[in-house]
A = this chain, B = another copy of it.
Amino acid sequence: MGKILRIDMSDLSHKWEDTPAKYKDLAGRAFTSKVVREEVDPTCHPLRENNKFVISPGLLAGTLAPSSGRLSVGAKSPLTGGIKESSAGGLTATRLARIDVPGIIIEGAPSKDEWYSIYIGKEKCEIKKTNDYAGMGLYDLIGKIWKDTGAKPGIIGSGIAGQRLLVGAGVFGNNIENSDPGRYAGRGGLGAVLGSKRIVAIISDDAGGERPKPKDVDKFENGRKALREALDTHPVTGVLNDDKGEPFGGLKNYGTNVLQNILSEAGGLPTKGFSTGRFDAAAKISGEAVHELIDKTKEKFGDKAEGKYAHACHPGCVMSCSNVVPYEDTGKLHVSPLEYETAWALGANLDISSLHDVAELNRICNDIGLDTIEAGNTIAMLMEGGLVEYGDGPGAIAALKEAYDAKSAMGKLVCSGTLLAGKALGVTRIPVVKGQALPAYDPRPIRGIGVTYATTPMGADHTAGYTIAAEILGIKGTVTDPRALDKAELSKAFQSTTAYIDFSGYCLFIAFAILDNDDGMKGMTDTVDAFLGKSVDIGEMGTSILKDERDFNKLAGFTKNDDRLPEFFRTEPLPPHNVTFDVTDEELDAVFKDL
């Protein structure tokens, strides 16, 4: 196993450390959360010198295991005040894995008013002054780094929102196929933690590196093939066309945004600031609409059309859920990708039905360095507070563009996250848990996801325990009643399994296939076990990660009160089902009663 890279921004020094026993065989979220738990004072100010920013490729990153190249970043979150792990695709995880860097720990903060970038290669680390990178839009920045380095390295970093320490900031990463900052470890304001360490970009080059080797090659090979088979044959994660040649298979044709119509139909698509669960114009901003737009531009512009149904977010992904949305009038790339969460946050959530405006808002968020879920909810607060009208796409775009102006109060607000903006505007319907904005599933008609939002140590986060798989999409043909109130066990199981997956490096979306296919499930665990040469229990690993995270939060001052949804979810019924969130506090507290 390689050495951990520890960087001290206080004196711009670095060292390579043998992995201590406490971090051994950990990777991804298991590594980042363990380091944050062990090394970061839970009471520290998240944007001052005592916080640490931790990076770790998932365990199997860089191997031939399918869709296993996810990257975890972690820190104390300036958005929630608790621990945070955020995950992304992109190039960095595989780059770091191939040069055998299992983790990077960035601590301290420089005293001077300079900006830095960190260059990491095989047994090499340089911290360079890059004041010219600071303040750039991220589309330009990535292009400039490509030019400056003469290569296409993995890049993660902070945009102007993070550099200004604004807590709506995500950590951007670069796409594989183009220079777009389309890969975000978006949540929890971790871009601002990088900004507080005065880091613009962390650039990783795998020259001279090689593919990581599993301990048990045969078992690994069999495992990855079984998983691959499960992914390729599942209607969500696999196949592109049916036997008549028609589009078939969710992600490859419609991306994650296939969910837009499904959730609206289910009455669980939070629309117009969580005031109704159905969006009349859902179809217009859906994955199907993107597909149609791509077809239209292909027809019109032929080979010059840049729209794509599907591409991979990281090397080796076989699901390819990322689209490329073209401009209708030129066929050129507008934004890459437009995910369900984003199309919801900047579309249905704002009562905006123009696909162009949604894509444009997404493009600007990417350029500024903003988490789109947080940004969409923040703009909804501007709308609740009367500064922008619901449904006003150009108004929302203008408000978001204010962020380029360092002196604009509106620009600051729009980058500061939902809770701050909502409170600053006198809004009392602020959809956050632990300070983090809710994603694209209303918890009133779909209670399990509400239990996850309330209880995950991360703040409201669908990816922390995606019960939607059971409650809306179904597992092995069976749908769990979304309105049932006994969801503690369901959420706990999903949260625990998710933590394991976030350790493995696999994309969470493999869950669609492995929950339906036992061979696929075994393929997942076999690859992990074979890689390490020892058996890792899903539940034990997941629980251990969650315990570190919950313990950190407790020491940071979190109580049961923080494991609750905002009051209005209990008092305002959501049309069309006209239900409130009725899960008891006891049920919420049952999720982690044994931790």
Contact = CB atoms under 8 A, between A and B. Distances in A.
Nearest to A388: B407
Contact of A416 (B165, B192, B423, B560): B423
A387 interface: yes
A568 B49 CA distance: 11
B43 A424 contact: no
A21 B387 CA distance: 48
Interface in A42-62: 43-45, 47-48, 50
A197 interface: no
Contacts of A397: none
A478 interface: no
A184 B421 CA distance: 26
Interface string A540-575: 000000000000000011011110101110010000
A247 interface: no
Main secondary structure of the interface of A (DSSP, over half): loop
A166 interface: yes
A561 B568 contact: no
Interface in A399-446: 406-410, 412-413, 416, 420-421, 423-428
A412 B385 CA distance: 10
Given A45-B567, A410-B409, A561-B43, A420 B428 contact: no
A557 B561 contact: yes
A60 to B, nearest CB: 37
Given A44-B567, A568-B48, A166 B426 contact: yes
B428 A45 contact: yes
A192 B426 contact: yes
Contact of A567 (B50, B416, B428, B556): B50
Q: How many copies does the complex hold?
A: 2
Contacts of A408: 409
A355 B233 CA distance: 77
A46 to B, nearest CB: 9
A562 B567 contact: no
Contacts of A568: 45, 48
B428 A47 contact: yes
Interface string A355-395: 00000000000000000000000000000011100000000
Interface residues of A, number: 43
Contact of A424 (B44, B166, B564): B166
A225 interface: no
A264 interface: no
Contacts of A566: 45
A167 interface: yes
Given A407-B386, A423-B167, A428 B48 contact: yes
Contacts of A213: none
A282 B423 CA distance: 34
Contacts of A165: 426-428
A164 interface: yes
Contacts of A164: 426
A496 interface: no
A561 B567 contact: no
Interface in A90-148: none
A416 B164 CA distance: 20
A568 to B, nearest CB: 7
A271 to B, nearest CB: 22
Given A43-B561, A409-B413, A424 B424 contact: yes
A562 B81 CA distance: 12
A504 interface: no
Contact of A420 (B47, B196, B424): B424
A169 to B, nearest CB: 9
A412 B428 contact: no
B424 A413 contact: yes
A423 B412 CA distance: 10
A428 B196 contact: yes
11 contacts: A45-B566, A165-B428, A166-B426, A387-B407, A409-B409, A409-B410, A409-B412, A412-B424, A556-B561, A557-B559, A557-B562
Interface of A: 43-45, 47-48, 50, 164-167, 192, 195-196, 385-387, 406-410, 412-413, 416, 420-421, 423-428, 556-557, 559-562, 564, 566-568, 571
Given A387-B409, A420-B423, 14 more contacts: A43-B564, A45-B567, A48-B568, A50-B567, A166-B424, A166-B426, A167-B423, A385-B412, A386-B406, A412-B425, A420-B420, A424-B424, A557-B559, A559-B559
